[in-house]
Structures are given as structure tokens and as C-alpha cells.
Amino acid sequence: MTQVKYFMAVDLGATSGRTILGSLQNGKLEQEELTRFANPIIQLGRHFYWDIYALYNEIVRGLKTAADRRVELTSVGIDTWGVDFVCVGKDGHLLRNPYSYRDPHTEGAMEAYFQRIPKEKVYEKTGIQFMNFNSLFQLSAMQQAGDSALQAADKILFVPDALMYMLTGEAVCEYTILSTSQMLDPRTGRIDKELIAAVGLTEDRFGRYVNPGEVVGTLSPEVQKMTGLGAVPVVAVAGHDTGSAVAAVPAQDPDYAYLSCGTWSLLGIETRDAIINEDSFRYNFTNEGGIEGTTRFLKNICGMWLLERCRKEWTDAPANVNEVNAQAMTAPAFRSFINPDDPSFANPESMVEAIRDFCRRTGQPVPATYQETARCIFESLALRYRQVVECLRGFAPFPIRRLHVIGGGTYNRHLMQMAADSIGIPVITGPVEGTAIGNIMMQAKAAGLVGDMYEMRRIIADSIEMNTYMPADKEAWDRAYERFLTISPL
């Protein structure tokens, strides 16, 4: 009888994290959540930080849970959100908790950087969309501020790489997480030396390059002692959570767009080569690294962050998010829209007031209740999805016939139906835990259990429940879209 191989996925999002145990049995993926925990942003003084030590401690707790259950792990893999990084000193110690990408210290950092290297040249080199929190601009802001951690750093490690370093002692730079930084040249697969020289850095300040599926190292003796496990390999998966999520899209042909729907909505297509031209620059699309040398050509859209921030303020709304979603449908349709990516929604003191202010500025009815605000958010997201898909059609070398949606946003069946109605194509949802599944399947590939991403996706499709939403109400959504375009530039 063949021994079952078990893999542990560490899947860290911008609000919460989880450890998940996975295995392949009888041609299907089996998974079970081991632990779940919060990942709050810490505000201290004028800055916002991630608690990297708390995240490490939660990973160790997950490993202990596996050991207590006498599970023999084949490997461990870690995926996280993008762009953020940790500074490591010459003595190997972490120098400080890392800044969160929502920290305001990058305000104006892009414009300051473009005084050294023009914006057009930065995009031509990287093909990455411009967002003020991209790693390049974080580093530029830190350099300009004389940041002590950066000045003392021997190595700069992206968050999943830093956590692998804490587990193994190996300093690496994984391809997909590096691709979020605006420092990677997708043609060479390496950091662009000119871009980092402008912030006083050299390539050797980063870890050795690794690709998804490579073994980074094994659990250190200290971690083995703490957890009761042996020298379990730690595998570089697609370290960027969107890379792992897209690896889990259960598509059987290329004629689709994908939407990773969570705190952020990441909407794009999968191509073999980066798409870098005047139009992609003008519309601020990004080219991020995927598994097996693919490129994720996509646009970042603010997602459930809008709703979650509002829920923290509402005192009269149900605690259960599914009830909030249902109650939103009792509000009038197509009353008010927002541009989800307006800068005013990045990290306001009050998201509810930010939405009301946007509606006032654009001459629309102001949402007065939580139901009206939630419906405004959902309809605006669905219309933004249509706007981006219509633009993607001009870039895709294939027809976009379906939208595959993965992630926690798939639980919101009202939003999923709105997306189908707005875009006018079938929306297929699942898996929910796409990032963890992609993480597990890359570990299974590293262990020799699957051959390539097409086999991975076939197994995933056979292992999960999927739902399909068919488009309806075309005329009503067409009218709403014409209004939406007046307040939401691409």
C-alpha cells in the first residue's frame, strides 16, 4: 500500500492566516484546516507594521499541531500578500517588524523616485502597475527618510522569504513574490540593477533566486526541537498568494479571465509572456510571475477591504457577513456607485464617510444605511470588473468566454451574480481556499506526485465543488455601466 504524503500550506492574507493540511488520495485533493488566526496591522506612532514574530509563532503552532497528530509531513510551503519585506542584519537577526503596505510613508514616494528614473522607463523595465506601496517605492521612501533598519540591512527578504528564513536559516528570493516589487525584469527573471541602484542597493542585498517548486532548505534544529518534527523540507511555492491562487484555477482551456476575490480583487488573464506596451502602461496593468514560467497579466482592484472596514463601523448591522450581504439586496438597485480604486479608499479613518464623501463629490445620492452602502460597494465592484474585463479583451490573444473566481469572495453569491450580470459571461466559482490549494499542489509537484499545471488543475477540478452563475438583466446593467464610466476612469 502506497504511503500517503502530507503537505502543510501556510496561507497568510492581509487580515488573517491559516495552516492547512493537504494530501492527494485516489486522484483527489484532501485538505483540512489545522489552525486559523488573525493578522492585524499594528499601529505604533506614525507607522503601521506587521508582526512577523507573531506570524512565525503561528506557523510553529501549526507545525506542532501536525506533530501532535503524528502526521509525517512531506514538506511545508508559505504564501503571503505581496510587496512587503523584512530587513535582516549582518548577524542574521531581523532588524524590525516590517512596514505594512498601508503605511502612509510612501505618500509621494513614486513621484520622488521618478525624478531619478522616469515613470515610462520604470514600466518598460518591469511591466508592473504603479501603486505607491510597491516595494521599490517603499525602499525609496525609507532611503530618503534615513531609515535605520534599511541602513543596517545585510539582506532584504520579502515576507514569505523572511518566514522561510526564520524556519530554515536560508535566505532566498522567490520569483513570484519578487515580481510584485517593481524591481524584477520579467525578461531576465532577475532584479534590475539600475532600478535598485537609484535607492542605493545592489543585487547581493537580496537572497538567492528560487522558483516555485524548489526546495529552500529544511526546518532548523531549533524548529525541529520546538515542534517535535524532523528535518522537514520547506518548499518555495508561488510565494505571492495570488500566484498560488491562480495556480488553483480549475480551468481546462485558456479562454478565461480569473478573479482572485478577497481583501483585494485581482482580475486578469494568464499568458506565456509579459505584455508591456503603450496601452498596458496607459491603463496601468501589471505583469506578475506565475508558475511554470507563466505571466499573470492583471489589474489590482480594491476588494472586500471596503466592506470589512465598513463592518467595523456599523453598529446596527448583523455580525454575520452573509446576513449583511443578503440585507444589501433589500436596498434600491443602481442608486450610487463608487470607484473602488479611488485613493480616498486606501486607508481612511472612516470608510463609511469616505464612501459618502465620494458620492457627494460626484453628485449622487448619499448612502444612508448599511444596506445602501453594502449594495453600493457590491454593484461598484461588479461594474469595475466589467470595465477591466472589457479592457483585457484588447490584450488577450484569445477570447474571454468565462470568469473563474477563487477566494473567500465566492461566498457572496449576490456579488457573484452581479459580476455575471455586469460582464455578460458565465462566472464559475471555486475553490474558496484557492491560495492554500495552489500552495499544496506546488508542493505535490515538487514531491513528484503531479507532472504539470494542467494535471494540477484537473485534479483540483475533480476535488472541489464549483458553482456557475449565468448572466441576466443585460439592459439594466448596460445602463448602470454607462453611468459608472462617468465616475470611474480606468
pLDDT one-digit tens code per residue, 248-258: 999 988 999 99
> 308 and 351 share a domain?
yes
Domain's final residue, options 240, 272, 290 = 240
Are residues 229 and 363 part of one domain? no
Look at residue 66 and tell me if it is in a domain: yes
Apex 303 CA angle, 132 and 360, nearest 5: 85
- Please report whether residue 391 resides in a domain: yes
- Whether 205 and 300 map to the same domain: the answer is no
Residue 440 lies in a domain: no
Please state, rounded to an integer, the average pLDDT across all residues of the chain.
96
Which of 193, 222, 240 is a domain's end point? 240
pLDDT for position 444 = 97
How much of the chain is in helix, strand and coil states, percent to nearest 5?
40, 20, 35
- Asked if residue 463 and residue 379 are part of one domain, the reply reads yes
> Do 79 and 223 belong together in one domain?
yes
What integer pLDDT is reported at residue 1 of this predicted model? 46
273 is catalytic: no
Q: Among the three residues 218, 240, 262, which one is the final residue of a domain in this structure?
A: 240
List the domain range (segments joined by +) for residue 105: 6-240
In this prediction, residues 385-413 reach a mean pLDDT of 97
Q: Is residue 1 part of a domain?
A: no
What's the one-letter identity of residue 305?
W
pLDDT at 15: 87
Region class of 426: left (phi > 0), else alpha (psi between -120 and 50), else beta: beta
pTM score of the predicted model = 0.90
CB 375 within 8 A of CB 329: yes
- Say how many domains are in the chain: 2
pLDDT given at position 490: 83
Residues 255, 234: one domain? no
Phi, psi of 333 (to 5 degrees): -80, 150
Check the CA dihedral 403-407-409-410 and report its sign. positive
Residue 446 resides in a domain: no
Together in a domain, 231 and 281: no
Tell me the average pLDDT across 39-48: 95
- Which pLDDT does position 2 carry in this prediction? 63
In a domain, 305, yes or no: yes
| 358 within some domain | yes
Whether 274 and 202 map to the same domain: the answer is: no
CA proximity to 478, closest of 353, 390, 401, 405: 390
pLDDT of residue 352: 98
Taking residues 394-414, report their average pLDDT. Answer: 96
The β-bridge relationship of strands 47-49 and 208-210 is: unpaired
Q: Which cell is 211 given? A: 522558483
CATH number of domain containing 81: 3.30.420.40
In this structure, are 208 and 173 located in the same domain? yes
Q: For 474-486, write each residue's pLDDT tens digit.
A: 999 999 999 999 9
Model confidence band, residue 411 (pLDDT cutoffs 50, 70, 90): very high
Q: Average of pLDDT values for 108-137? A: 97
Burial 82-113 (b: 16+ CB within 10 A, else e): bbbbbbbeeeeebbbbbbbbebebbeebbeeb
Q: Are residues 232 and 253 in the same domain?
A: no
Q: For position 3, what pLDDT does the model report?
A: 81
Query: Are residues 158 and 138 both part of a single domain?
Result: yes
Is residue 443 one of the residues assigned to a domain?
Answer: no
Query: Which residue among the candidates 79, 241, 342, 421 is catalytic per the annotation?
Result: 241
Of the candidates 156, 149, 143, 155, the one whose C-alpha atom is nearest the C-alpha of residue 113 is 143
Q: CA 78, 79, 81, 85: dihedral to nearest 10 degrees? A: 40
User: In terms of domains, do 477 and 458 share one?
Assistant: yes
DSSP 3-state assignment of 30? strand
User: Does the structure show a pLDDT above 50 at 312?
Assistant: yes
